[in-house]
Structure 1
């Protein structure tokens, strides 16, 4: 195990604490089994290394961070690791990329049951249906989801500010006051367009001008490796699914005609609907329905969006501005709120607030609405029911 400890310490030495995700302060770290899911590239590994470094320092031998794709597991099991670790006084075991280990859920269940002195924290792809796993981890694991950077987090990362999270109720009721308070510290449009293009994934700083190329590589990895392994996704359809993602990126907010779309890209209706579901699970797309209740695998989404705006620039050629605005809104608001498609307007939030998304000239009357709110781009401050679109990037 010495090689695992050596790698653990090396990773901690190279982990910066300068910028930390908001979720880090919200997790109940005292729980015995904690799971953190999130799309590839959103920063799960970095967040856990930051927690270990802050809480335990770099040399505490009672904690261990291990990635389950390490070659050590070619001749040792997870149970072997837990057994050996507890025998040398181990107390906190962090397991990264659990989906790369066969039968991971049953092994975690056994560790939880057989080693009560050991706290286990694990990360996994958003594809994983952890709460429905055969080993029934739902009764044992406290689960969290890490999303990409919010617009607020991106601003804080770029400026070293500590701008606070805002509640939806406050944004709707006090948006003029909140906007003016925030404008004292920064100008949103100095950063907004850059965020839409390359601000969602934390690795943008690392790759610079190669960011979109790296993001495309992440998409390819999901489509060509993870989906085929975890969902029996037919690799032969990958080029057609890439074509679909490009269509979504360049479309006015995309309302799929499944029959025509299937004919265009050469996939039958049932397979296409199934793949819509898998793409949403993998955080490449976001499916919008008229209700969130009783959604089945073969239910047609009312609208299809890419999961975030960065994907649109990486995958599309002529990105639609209306699509970008709605994608930003759905991505930021959908993290902590229920969002469905209303009979009129663009989005219904928590069954309470009807919101239309558009440019500075958008109005409720133009949208055919008697009441509700406008999330308007290209304005720093709003008035009445018109709220700056960028302000909805402060919800997490």
Structure 2
């Protein structure tokens, strides 16, 4: 127990609080049980340690990583019992999916230690999604997306820029650009950097190794996280990686499911299962029409990687610019909590209300001319005009 407490204190001492993800302000930290979900590398562990460091007493708090070898021979319940008896009231559990039957033990802690507040997280969102129904009802779930462009700028340039609502952005985008440029004279420069280095906070540890670390992250998710969470054949792992590569190098990818299944040597139904699995692992986003709803057997209208950094890591220096633009837009809107679906005309439908077409500065509005509340999101411009909004500006929604 003392060894675990010492590891926790060392981690806490190394934790910096100069930049904190925006989600921290939205979490109801007073809840009895919280689950923070999110893709690998988004900063869930750091978020928990930062909250502890800034808000809680060391004497009442314990952070445990359940992949520690200590838990090969000791139970979580016994550690938590000792901690509680010594006055502990805030228990933070990281990498919970690495601990066998974690759901049952967390449920018991919740039920029998009513004064204990529990915050848990893990790097395998698939494993967290498999928590039993009884535990799910007890947990308040939050999702930590990848960094927005706004958060990347705050981290990289130490510049704090406000969050803007989508409605404000659509109505007042020129004034908003003026406001941002007071803080940031060259927003397009940071937008270009973001497309390669912006999605994950570990870019601050060195850009030279950033794309290599993303490739390693992908391998860990496919080779370890997926088999731990779901029965999956060894031969399917290489097919999943090939599928990601195909998506990364394509134009905004409108799939022919049968042809794509032939490319990776699998069946149509198995390919749809793979796409669902990759989406749950937060490596791809499957864009579907709102008219058909979300179903495993409904093929997506388009397939995107989860963020532009994944494209840059997989596309071997040859990304399609249209794919990058649309992936950026999709990731920023989805990260801000909007429902993104496939429209009858244009590229994206947001909350069944706003239609968007994405393109370069010469893009016209012919394709969406007949749509109500339709807009162009345009790359390579700092300022927009009526109905034409700079693409980079959608990075300030969260």
Q: TM-score, normalised to structure 1's length?
A: 0.96
Preserved contact between residue 348 and residue 357 of structure 2 (Cα < 8 Å) = yes
1:94-127 Cα shifts (integer Å, max 9, x gaps): 0001111111122211110011111000002463
Name the CA distance, whole Å, in 2 between partners of 1:131 and 1:278. 12
Preserved contact between residue 67 and residue 96 of structure 1 (Cα < 8 Å) = yes
State the shift of 1:292 in Å: 7.8
* 1:220 counterpart residue number: 219
Preserved contact between residue 34 and residue 122 of structure 1 (Cα < 8 Å) = yes
Name the CA distance, whole Å, in 2 between partners of 1:297 and 1:88. 49
Name the CA distance, whole Å, in 1 between partners of 2:382 and 2:135. 46
Name the CA distance, whole Å, in 1 between partners of 2:291 and 2:155. 34
Preserved contact between residue 345 and residue 369 of structure 1 (Cα < 8 Å) = no
Name the CA distance, whole Å, in 2 between partners of 1:154 and 1:9. 28
Name the CA distance, whole Å, in 2 between partners of 1:34 and 1:288. 29
* 1:299 counterpart residue number: 298
Name the CA distance, whole Å, in 2 between partners of 1:85 and 1:289. 47
Name the CA distance, whole Å, in 1 between partners of 2:301 and 2:97. 31
**Aligned residue-pair number:** 394
1:277-311 Cα shifts (integer Å, max 9, x gaps): 01001111011000287422232111100000000
State the shift of 1:360 in Å: 0.9
Preserved contact between residue 126 and residue 226 of structure 2 (Cα < 8 Å) = no
Name the CA distance, whole Å, in 2 between partners of 1:136 and 1:94. 20
1:138 to 136, 158, 168: 136
Greater shift in the superposed pair: 330-339 or 229-238: 229-238
Q: Does 1:72 align with 2:38?
A: no
Name the CA distance, whole Å, in 1 between partners of 2:106 and 2:258. 43
* 2:96 counterpart residue number: 98
Secondary structure in 2 aligned to 1:95? Answer: strand
State the shift of 1:267 in Å: 1.2
* 2:381 counterpart residue number: 379
* 2:356 counterpart residue number: 355
Preserved contact between residue 285 and residue 305 of structure 1 (Cα < 8 Å) = yes
* Distance of aligned partners of 1:115 and 1:370 in 2 relative to their CA distance in 1, 3 Å threshold: closer
Q: Does 1:246 align with 2:245?
A: yes
- Unaligned 5+ residue runs, structure 1? none
Greater shift in the superposed pair: 358-367 or 11-20: 358-367
Preserved contact between residue 207 and residue 214 of structure 1 (Cα < 8 Å) = no
Name the CA distance, whole Å, in 1 between partners of 2:332 and 2:365. 22
Q: TM-score, normalised to structure 2's length?
A: 0.96
Preserved contact between residue 346 and residue 367 of structure 2 (Cα < 8 Å) = no
Preserved contact between residue 283 and residue 306 of structure 2 (Cα < 8 Å) = yes
* 1:46 counterpart residue number: 46
* 1:211 counterpart residue number: 210
* 1:289 counterpart residue number: 288
State the shift of 1:2 in Å: 0.1
Secondary structure in 2 aligned to 1:203? Answer: helix
- Which runs of 4 or more aligned residues in structure 1 lie more than 4 Å from their structure 2 counterparts after TM superposition? 129-132, 366-371
Greater shift in the superposed pair: 364-373 or 23-32: 364-373
1:317-338 Cα shifts (integer Å, max 9, x gaps): 3210000000000000012100
Name the CA distance, whole Å, in 2 between partners of 1:206 and 1:292. 43
Greater shift in the superposed pair: 358-367 or 320-329: 358-367
CA RMSD of aligned residues (A): 1.5
* 1:264 counterpart residue number: 263
Secondary structure in 2 aligned to 1:357? Answer: strand
